[in-house]
Chains A and B, each alone.
Chain A
Amino acid sequence: MTTLLKMPALLKRDDLAGLGTGVDEGQARLELRRQIGRLEGELSQLFGEAFGHTEVPHRIEAISVAPRVLDLGELEAVRDRLADRIAEARQALVERRRLENGNRELVERMLAAPQDFKWVRVSRQDLGLKGCGHWHSRPRLGPIGMLMGWWRVKVSSGCPLFGRLAAVDHQVQTSFRT
């Protein structure tokens, strides 16, 4: 009943104070700052989670060139842009996970039937795994295997060791001396 009585007044935007809905802008700004803090935390987590797997949009242009107290509209703009970035980052992560799951299934199918995936190569990064290495469908015994249809998935042995690089350096230095 109260609401119905106030309906005509609602149409006049300037009369909001008369409806007992006086807006405390200071409180609104504090609330927006709290929301910005929470969203910044979420975006930071997503950024950390995605780093090394996929790029997530996390940049938000500065509202001001110098530090100052932002007004309600500017705080809302920061809050909304953060929310947009979070949505985009989540979407990017979901798409990346879908791709990685697809690659994982592909590796399983490759291992089951290597001859159906000739020369296909999937890296650990494609599966969202750390380190070097890949699965590569190759023929046994080179050209003979190709002719005979003897295919297998070869798993590489990982990252090159530091010792190998040191040995190469040593070889280079020795060749300079000689």
Chain B
Amino acid sequence: MADAAVQRMGWDPAPRQGWVAPHIASEFPGLGIAWVEVDAKPGRSPEPVRSRLRELSDRTYGAQAIHLRERPIPWAYRVFYRQIGLDPDRTRTPVEQMTLDRLHDGGFTTRGLPEDALNIAIVETGVALRAFDADRLAGQLCIRDSAPGESLPGAPGELASGTLTIADGERPIALLFGAGGEGCGVEQTTERLAVAAVQVKGVPQIAVEEALWMAASTLEAA
């Protein structure tokens, strides 16, 4: 994917492709994770980013929210949520949560960087994104099930064996579409971000690349 993205977008650094545990990949063909690392610090969003959020708010209506789940990418995430035992009407997919917040708050409210950059990319593409502190990650990101005795950093108790997680080379760092572990997320001291996209069956590769590119370029420009 990395070479293809570089050729298509002239993008440097190119997104990196994580791996999925083979037995998970055989259960969920099309599941994948890709990420890009960006030099960026958390902080207040600059005016262009806030202006973009306002413009997005003007383009997002209630009728769109109702029919969002019929669109291919949000539908693909809803289906995947069902397939892993989650209720997408309770644990919302990222794009549905964003749209619901837009209707509730009357607009996309700024939450600072990197959240605003991720939110813009999520709303524009529908792809699920999340950010980690790149300097605290060990090795490649992957999607795997938890082993007995493993737990999320800083979280009490062990993960139930077989829980689907996003992990680095050493340990699980977040639940797949769930809570993150302590010390792996973005904090005030973060200087380098890893923006990760989780791809599921039905989400085109080009949408994943576009989402990562959009989030990374917004962060770099800020």
Contacts and interface: CB of A to CB of B under 8 A. Distances in A.
Contacts of B178: 66-67
Judged by DSSP, the binding face of A is helix
B66 A67 contact: no
Interface in A1-51: 26, 29-30, 33, 36-37, 40-41, 44-45, 47-48, 51
A62 interface: yes
B86 A67 contact: yes
Q: How large is the interface on A (under 10, 10 to 19, 20 to 34, 35 or more residues)?
A: 20 to 34
Given A40-B78, A68-B163, A33 B70 contact: no
A82 interface: yes
Contacts of A51: 66
A26 B22 CA distance: 13
A21 B176 CA distance: 36
B141 to A, nearest CB: 16
A78 B81 CA distance: 11
B176 A67 contact: yes
A166 interface: no
Interface stretch (B87-95, B114-122, B189-197): B87-95
A44 B69 contact: yes
Contacts of B86: 62, 64, 67
B160 A78 contact: no
B27 interface: yes
Given A26-B27, A67-B164, A62 B69 contact: no
B130 to A, nearest CB: 14
A68 B83 contact: no
Interface string B48-90: 0000000000000000001101100001001100111111011
A169 interface: no
Contacts of A37: 79, 83, 202
B37 interface: no
Given A48-B67, A48-B69, A61-B87, A68 B26 contact: no
Contact of B70 (A29, A48, A68): A48
A87 B202 CA distance: 25
A59 interface: yes
Interface of A: 26, 29-30, 33, 36-37, 40-41, 44-45, 47-48, 51, 58-64, 66-70, 74-75, 78, 82
The 4 closest A-B pairs by CB, nearest first: A64-B85, A62-B87, A63-B85, A67-B84
Interface of B: 24, 26-29, 66-67, 69-70, 75, 78-79, 82-87, 89-91, 145, 159-160, 162-164, 175-178, 202
Given A26-B27, A40-B79, 15 more contacts: A26-B26, A30-B29, A33-B28, A36-B82, A36-B83, A40-B78, A41-B75, A48-B70, A60-B89, A66-B163, A66-B175, A67-B84, A67-B85, A67-B86, A67-B178
